[in-house]
Amino acid sequence: MKFILNSKNLLDKLLILNGVINSSNTLPILDCFLLDIDGNELKITASDLETTISSTLEITSSDKGSIAVPSRMLIDILKAFPEQPLDFFVNENSTIDINSGAGVYSIAYALAKEYPQAVLIEDPQTATINSKILGKAISKTIFATGTDDLRPAMTGVLFQFSPSGLNFVATDAHKLVKYQRSDITSAEEIDFIVPKKPLNVLKGILSTLDIEVVISFNQTNAIFTFEDYVLMCRLVDATYPKYENVIPKDNPNKAIIDRSKLLSSVKCVSIFANKTTKQVALKFTGNEINLSSEDVDYSNKADERLNCNYEGQDTKIGFNAKYLAEMISNLSSEEINFEFSLLNRAAILTPIDDQDDQEKILMLIMPSLIN
């Protein structure tokens, strides 16, 4: 069996699919790419059992067959080549020869029958979303997901379909992001939780595309199909917390703040914060915010003033600077609306502009007790 294809095209594809492969696997075969040759089409698959992604490339061949090739070695040798056509020869002695014209390189392969087969989804429901919308929704929410395995629901992003629209929600109990689309609806209410890993892979691919993505799903799995990619993942088997209950509805203290200036101030002042708490205090007085932090153990202290348009009582409230900076960074408007009520209740950040009529984004951050 033999086939010919461009080295750069193959490498670009493998680097994307490689995002699914774990650095250490319980099954050695999962360290490999599955190569499935069928005439002029090469299908490449990568999997970690929980997430499986495949894509196709055009090749020059008249053969048919499948092998599993070690991913790390194949990527490393392709990185060493300049762009050129490569001849691949699959030998019966369990090696595959790569002929670059300047030399021949042999890699041992495994039998394709050892590679785990993807699970078929029976009677799936489907939805179609534009890749730009899906990519934006993922990038706006994924940073707020948690890492605590004891709270599995929070380790993924909630996809929530309803007749009124589509919500994407992520939280780690310290911060929460809700991204809404009113132009994508469903006749019935459906929700499922997609793990962080497949979403990171999707985000990297979708960032350069403007196509339709078909999502097929049931209670246990979801498949994302677009262009020449098919990504299947196991959904998080957990019930998402009732996040609406923690979003405060009445917030008498409101400030309109320049986003970039606030982000710069938070980053600057946080350098002097306690390394454990990372706390930055925001004191709202009149049309001014005073940002301050202190690390008593090392006598480090910082104060900075920032103008804003504030309505409410003079108040001082503290936040984890890392979480606050993450949220401000993921808002893209020139100005943001900052709302809060009591010092022990969540504050809300929303963009003032830079949104179309069909989308809404809300970010929530829990305060920290000021010492």
Query: Parallel, antiparallel, or unpaired: how do β-strands 95-99 and 41-47 relate?
Result: unpaired
**Angle between the N-to-C axes of helices 71-80 and 7-17, in degrees from 0 to 180, rounded to the nearest 10:** 140
The class that CATH gives domain 247-365 is alpha beta
Residue 165 gets the label, from left (phi > 0), alpha (psi -120 to 50) or beta, of left
pLDDT at 42: 97
Report domain extents, the chain: 2-114, 125-245, 247-365
pLDDT at 187: 86
pLDDT at 121: 86
Quick one: 2-114 is in which CATH superfamily? DNA Polymerase III, subunit A, domain 2 (3.10.150.10)
32-38 β-sheet, strand order: 110-111, 64-70, 32-38, 41-47, 51-58, 229-234, 221-226, 212-217, 125-130
Query: Closest by alpha carbon to 79, among 33, 14, 23, 16?
Result: 14
pLDDT at 148: 93
The class that CATH gives domain 125-245 is alpha beta
Beta bridge partners, 194, equal 157
Beta bridge partners, 354, equal none
Beta bridge partners, 170, equal 177
Whole-prediction pTM value? 0.93
pLDDT at 343: 87
Q: How confident is the chain (371 residues) per 10-residue block, as mean pLDDT?
A: 96 96 92 97 96 96 95 96 96 95 94 90 90 95 95 97 94 96 89 96 92 94 96 96 92 96 97 95 95 94 96 95 96 94 92 82 93 67
CB 157 within 8 A of CB 123: no
- Do the domains at 2-114 and 125-245 have one common CATH topology? yes
pLDDT at 371: 67
CB 145 within 8 A of CB 156: yes
pLDDT at 165: 92
